[in-house]
A and B are shown apart, each in its own frame.
Chain A
Amino acid sequence: MRRVGVFVCWCGSNIAKTVDVAKVVAEAAKLPGVVYATDYKYMCSEPGQKMIQAAIQEHHLDAVVVSSCSPTLHESTFQRCIADAGLNPYVFQMANIREQCSWVHSDRDLATAKALDQTAIAVGTATKGRPLARSEVPITKRALVIGAGIAGIQAALDLAEAGYPVTVVERQPSIGGRMAQFDKTFPTMDCAACILTPKMVDAAKHPNITLLTWSEVEKVAGYVGNFEVAIRKRARSVNAEKCIGCGVCEEKCPSKVTSEFDAGLGTRKAIFRPFPQAVPNVPVIDRDHCRHFQTGKCGVCAKVCPAEAVDYDQGDELLSERFGAIVVATGCDLYDPARMTEYGGGRFADIITGAQFERLVNVGGPTEGHIVRLSDHQAPKTVVFIQCVGSRDDTKGYPYCSKVCCMYTAKHATLVKEKLPGCEVYVFYMDIRAAGKGYEEFVRRAQEDLGVKYLRGRVSRIYPAGDQLRVKGADSLAGVAVEIDADLVVLATALRARDDVAAVARMLNIQTDQYGFFTEAHPKLRPVENIFAGIYLAGACQYPRDIPDTVAAASAVAGKVCGLFARDSILSEAKISEVNAARCSGCLTCKEICPYDAIEAEIITDRITREERTVAKVNEAVCQGCGACVAACRAAALNLRGFTDEQILAGMEALCRE
């Protein structure tokens, strides 16, 4: 027979003001299985906890019920408390008579009756509880980083420095991500390449880092500490060992393709490195646009390569690796300006995006850093920047703010004023979001010292007028419509989630929000973790962010992973599902339902028939105890430890007592 102790908390006046605690105690003492019941003002405090521990000894309790606040707050507190007194932490049950009772009701009698019912359910549940154990799961101390922009690179470097082997998988031919495309970075106007390339080279050279570029993660199975990952190393068609990085193949290739790195402005070859400082400095062949692969003709690159490194027969390599932690740093994409038909719909050469302007002004870009109109390559005399294109827009874009556009537009405006001193520069804005170190001062400098004219209002439409573009905007502060004939218009387009986020999220068990950005475990208190243990998030794949924010997140992730790897094993969940093989028919519905892939099929020898049959088996290390399988099982062959069917029924019986 169970010996349950009931401890009812006042929580100061939070509970006691509405619930008659003394009455709850008196009634609870009469419940079957209860041998001791008492109350205290602050059960979670040190004296409160000591009281519980003393009662456990004195009354030989083998189960404890605390009626107080939310388990999310203090379940672990009380579990530790009774564990210290020698009880298994899982014989503890909690009744939330604060958030679920005293805080939401005002009638004292009714609230007291409810609190007593809640306590009775907890007591009933406790009488059928059993001690539970957690198992130890070994950890593979290797990290996988998906995405090699600045976030991925930083996380990899931090982990490598901490002594852990890191594999970085990057879909592009080179690491570097978006930052490699930038010219200068705000607010310091550091050259992006100058601060990024040393990190890129460090990542390439670090003995603990393995870079797999032109590669994709295809499948992820397993659980924290033990992920089984399938990686496809796509064929570069170039032997990386032989290649000396001379670039002759690129020079001689006859095919021209629109350059993704130049944001659609310039061209590249079919055999290419995305930019001269690419890491690794080994080209790839884009087989979809290569004449040799499409038509069987050409083959120039193989002929001219002095190292005989071109290998048309190279195939994809499939790798299967095990990692203890996965860092997701897959970045984001940009809004398509063609959606904003009133801004030209992408049809006019002199209306470009911020990303394209970044390439224009970069010395490695299609115009060698000269700010010119793309239509006639003349320097513009009037440039108009428009912020919030696709951002803060309920109808043609996304309702959220893309965070970085105010700053990079001020940067672009500053660059125009520096490179083209006589040029008139206008910025149409709605609000200036410059909340960073030195950010406000940077924007003010553009406005006050450099003479960039900031107009508060959106633009209604842009259309060609002669050689120029007529911008019809407004200034809401003066309450007037304004018209500017511009030579060049730059649209600060919204940052958005990539097109393939749904597939990636499914593969990694990450939740996405309504915009496709990856959702962290808690928006404030767990910003770099996924709800699914062992997967971490860093960078713009979560929401639009700038470089300092991204690097901080990446290092935070590295810290979290180091915390995981500091131990040799981790403890699994205790409240997990278990299968009663005698009842299991082997339908494996539970396996299909499990969101954590924690159920497998197992062949057993039936005890009675002596024949082999299939049943379900729960992987105790992976199971998170969500209970979906228990609900789905038609044969009631599954039960959730710590929340068994028997416990639930006992709780209900206690509730329905006379």
Chain B
Amino acid sequence: MKIGYYPGCSLHATAKEFDLSTRAVCAAVGLELVEIEDWNCCGASAAHAISDDLAVGLAGRNLALAAQQGLDAVLAPCAACFGRLKYAAQHLAADGAELPAGLDARAAAGVRVHNILDALLHLAGLERIREAASKPLAGLRPAAYYGCLLVRPPQVAEFDDPENPTSMEQILGAVGAEPVEWYHRLECCGASLAVTNTPSAVRLVAEILGAAKAAGADCVAVACPMCQTNLDTRQAAAAARLGETLDLPIVYITELLGLAFGITPNRLGLGRHIVDAMRLARSS
């Protein structure tokens, strides 16, 4: 099936491996991605933090473009982009908003927005995923880390249980992995505070990774570029704060799926991580 694709700024740069692995995995489960033409930055945290109108406008343009290009649904792998696009769709419908001429706000409001877990679970389906897993990830014990924006706030995300989600565990289970039971799956990673208030973010990263390690995880599965960046690039500082070794690869769920589907690590971008993730390809 065809679906619109909104990579967002990070998937073309710091989260390149998310883009690569998502495309590879979607192809393998029959989801044809059609990148929205001329998409712009959704505004991420910066826009909504200082101007609600700007946030709805920037995100809304992408939905209007999708509608123009005949796409009635869009996959936004980045959790923040997902949240912003959904928020815009809801408010374009509820309050109306002034968009530049040539952009149809009504049509934009009607575009359905999916995050990667939603797309895998409900558009592709666990059966398809199971079938495609020619090299199951037996023995892998990932800590499924949802972060904030995939499930919160519940009236925006409208996805899974905001206190006890299971979508990631279901998907990982379908490819043979054994996700660990741990209790920091929904704790905030600090987001852009990693830049503006680094010590606060390092504290949060340390709590999350410390808990994952204590639960016996051998890697952390994520579905958000901000979370991936923070847990990966700030891991050394977090380890120093905890006074213990962490050494946890932080991988996108699509990278793990890609490995299970037998796709080569380079095609998935597995070599681009700060904390080495290639070892997961070797061990599988």
Contact = CB atoms under 8 A, between A and B. Distances in A.
Are A and B in direct contact (Cβ within 8 Å)?
yes
Interface of A: 341-342, 345, 463-465
A341 B183 CA distance: 12
A345 B164 contact: yes
Contacts of A465: 183
A464 B183 contact: yes
B163 A342 contact: yes
Interface in B183-227: 183
A465 B215 CA distance: 10
Nearest to A462: B183
A465 B183 CA distance: 9
9 contacts: A341-B161, A341-B163, A341-B164, A342-B163, A345-B163, A345-B164, A463-B183, A464-B183, A465-B183
Contacts of B163: 341-342, 345
A568 to B, nearest CB: 62
B124 to A, nearest CB: 27
A26 to B, nearest CB: 60
Given A341-B164, A345-B164, 7 more contacts: A341-B161, A341-B163, A342-B163, A345-B163, A463-B183, A464-B183, A465-B183
A464 B161 CA distance: 19
Contacts of A341: 161, 163-164
Nearest to A343: B163
A345 B165 CA distance: 13
Q: What is the interface of chain B mostly: helix, strand, loop, or mixed? A: loop
B144 to A, nearest CB: 15
Nearest to A341: B163
Nearest to A347: B164
B65 to A, nearest CB: 36
A22 B108 CA distance: 69
Interface string B151-190: 0000000000101100000000000000000010000000
A463 B163 CA distance: 12
Nearest to A464: B183
Interface in B18-64: none
Nearest to A342: B163
A614 B161 CA distance: 59
A464 B180 CA distance: 14
Q: Pick the 5 closest A-B CB pairs, nearest first.
A: A341-B163, A463-B183, A341-B164, A342-B163, A464-B183
A396 to B, nearest CB: 10
Contacts of B161: 341
A463 B161 CA distance: 17
B211 to A, nearest CB: 9
Contacts of B183: 463-465
B242 to A, nearest CB: 15
Contacts of A345: 163-164
Interface residues of B, number: 4
Nearest to B161: A341
A345 B163 CA distance: 10
A386 B194 CA distance: 34
Interface in B136-150: none
Interface in B57-76: none
Nearest to B164: A341
A463 B215 CA distance: 13
A465 B164 CA distance: 17
A84 to B, nearest CB: 66
A317 to B, nearest CB: 47
A465 B163 CA distance: 17
Contacts of A342: 163
Nearest to A466: B214
Contacts of B164: 341, 345
B109 to A, nearest CB: 26
Nearest to B184: A463
Contacts of A464: 183
Nearest to A463: B183
Nearest to B181: A464
Contacts of A463: 183
A444 to B, nearest CB: 36
Nearest to A345: B164
Nearest to B162: A341
Nearest to A340: B163
A342 B164 CA distance: 8
B153 to A, nearest CB: 12
Nearest to A395: B154
A463 B208 CA distance: 13
A54 B164 CA distance: 79
A187 to B, nearest CB: 36
B262 to A, nearest CB: 37
A534 B183 CA distance: 56
A643 B103 CA distance: 65
Interface in B69-122: none
A464 B211 CA distance: 11
A595 B183 CA distance: 54
A123 B260 CA distance: 90
B147 to A, nearest CB: 16
Residue picked from B161, B163, B164, most chain A C-beta under 10 Å:
B163
A341 B163 CA distance: 6
B200 to A, nearest CB: 13
A633 to B, nearest CB: 47
A610 to B, nearest CB: 71
B33 to A, nearest CB: 34
A345 B183 CA distance: 13
Nearest to A396: B163
A342 B161 CA distance: 11
A464 B182 CA distance: 9
Max chain A C-beta neighbours (<10 A), residue from B161, B164, B183: B183
Interface in B214-250: none
A463 B207 CA distance: 13
A465 B161 CA distance: 22
A463 B164 CA distance: 12
A45 B86 CA distance: 69
A342 B151 CA distance: 14
B256 to A, nearest CB: 25
A214 to B, nearest CB: 39
A377 B183 CA distance: 24
A342 B183 CA distance: 10
A464 B163 CA distance: 15
A646 B130 CA distance: 78
A623 to B, nearest CB: 50
A464 B183 CA distance: 7
A464 B184 CA distance: 10
Nearest to B183: A463
B40 to A, nearest CB: 36
B57 to A, nearest CB: 31
Nearest to B163: A341
A646 B201 CA distance: 82
A597 B12 CA distance: 74
A341 B154 CA distance: 14
A463 to B, nearest CB: 4
A463 B214 CA distance: 14
A389 to B, nearest CB: 14
A339 to B, nearest CB: 10
A97 B161 CA distance: 58
A465 B182 CA distance: 10
A122 to B, nearest CB: 51
A345 B166 CA distance: 14
Nearest to A465: B183
A463 B181 CA distance: 11
A341 B161 CA distance: 10
